[in-house]
Structure formats: C-alpha cells, structure tokens
Amino acid sequence: MAEVAAAAEARGCSEAPDGGSSGSEDEARPSPAAAAQKRERWLRKFRELHMKRNEARKLNHQEVVEEDKRLKLPPNWEAKKARLEWELKVEEKKKECAARGEDYERVKLLEISAEDAERWERKKKRKNPDLGFSDYAAAQLRQYQRLTRQIKPDLEQYEKLKEQYGEALYPTSDSLLHGTHVPTKEGIDRMVADLEKQIEKREKYSRRRPYNDDADIDYINERNAKFNKKAERFYGKYTAEIKQNLERGTAV
C-alpha cells in the first residue's frame, strides 16, 4: 500500500507541470470577441478592395469608349473644334465691346505685344504668297484657300444646330451624311452670288504672257529660257557688243 501511495504521489508531481502549460495555452488563445473584430476588419478591407476594383474597371471602360470615339473622329477634328471655340469667344467679345461702345479691333490690339505683332506680320507675309503659275493643282489649291478665307460662318445657326443634334452634329466614320443636310434659301443665294462674282472676275481676267511673241527665240525649252534670262540680267551689258557682232556676222 505504501508503494502504491508513493507511485500515485510521484504521478501527481509529474502531471503538475502539464496542467500549468494547458492553463498558459488557454490564456494565449484569443477570445471570441477579439476574433470577431479581427474577422470584421479583414472583411471590411476586402470590401474596400472590391469597390476599388469595380471603380477601376468602370473608369477603364469609360476611357476605352472615349478613345474609340476619338479614333472615329476625323484626323483634324481637334483643330477644327478649337478653331470653332475660338471663333465663338471672339464673337462674344465683339458683342461685349459693342455693348460698352468700344472698338473691338482697338481692344484686341491693346492686348497684343509688339513682339507678337511683328511675328504675326512676318507670318502673314509668308502665308500663301503669289509665286506665279507652276501647275494647275497649285493654282486650284490657291483658289480654294482664297475662297475658304472669304467664308463667314453663321455662328447663330451653328449654335441652333448644336442644341438640336448634340454630339450627332459632329460626324464620325459611322455617320450617314448623304441626304441629311438641307441647305437654307439664304445659303443657296449666297452660293449663287459667289459663283456669279467668280464668273464676272474670270471674264475680266487676262492671262499674263510669260514671254513676248515678237521677241527672238533663243532657247530650246522653258528651263533654257529661264537660264538665258538670268544670264542676260547679269552679263547682258558685257556681252551686248559680242551678240551684235554675231548677229551682223562681223565677229572676229
């Protein structure tokens, strides 16, 4: 019996440390409330990431749609749009100056520096200079540029059409324009008046002769004729006597 009691006491002493370690594990294990808070925090973070992903997907889709619209527009659409916006601003400023009783040209010149004025004047002199006739394509292009500069757009009608059609007013590659535009009577009359003015000017025009019909022909083609003119301009006074002797047949 004494041996049994000693064995039991020894077993109890050996099991005491194990009981202490289980108690420390219970203390280290988080409580259910803390675990729930941690889980809620991770779920909230997951929902935020999910919302950000959906927002990024939506923005990417919008950019793709806008890029597709830009690709379907004409190549020079941005320049045309900027030009129209600038013309609208100028028209509004003219109305403001007229309401105040001021001259728009004077107000505009007051806002331009001397350097900008000189630069624009030089640019204006270089723009579309008359270099004479080179070919029919160049002459046609020059005529087209001159006629388009004379066009004065009806900005009020443009604003009405913009309000009526919205974005459909600006054509894309998928737009069907044939038969959709009906010109006004004023526009037709303006076109007829412009054509009559061109016909009248064409009737008064006399083609400039590049050479004199009575002059001696001393060239074999147009290029040789230009060379001879340059040579005559620079060396004519030195070779006049030699030329006269050759024509008389008395050259030495």
Angle between helices 77-100 and 155-165 (to 10 degrees): 120
Measured torsion, CA atoms of residues 233, 235, 240, 245, in degrees rounded to the nearest 10:
-130
| Spatial contact of 162 and 169, defined as CB atoms under 8 Å apart | yes
Residue owning tokens 């001397």: 114
* Sequential DSSP letters for 168-214: GGS--TT---TTT----HHHHHHHHHHHHHHHHHHHH--PPPSS-TT
Nearest Cα residue to 39 out of 47, 28, 27:
47
Per-residue pLDDT of the chain (252 residues; tens, 9 = 90+): 444 444 445 454 444 444 444 455 555 676 888 888 888 889 999 999 999 999 999 999 999 988 888 788 777 878 888 888 989 988 998 888 888 888 888 888 788 888 887 887 777 766 666 666 677 888 888 888 888 888 888 888 888 888 887 777 777 777 776 666 777 888 889 889 988 988 988 888 766 656 566 777 888 988 898 898 899 888 988 888 888 888 887 755
pTM exceeding the 0.75 threshold for the entire prediction: no
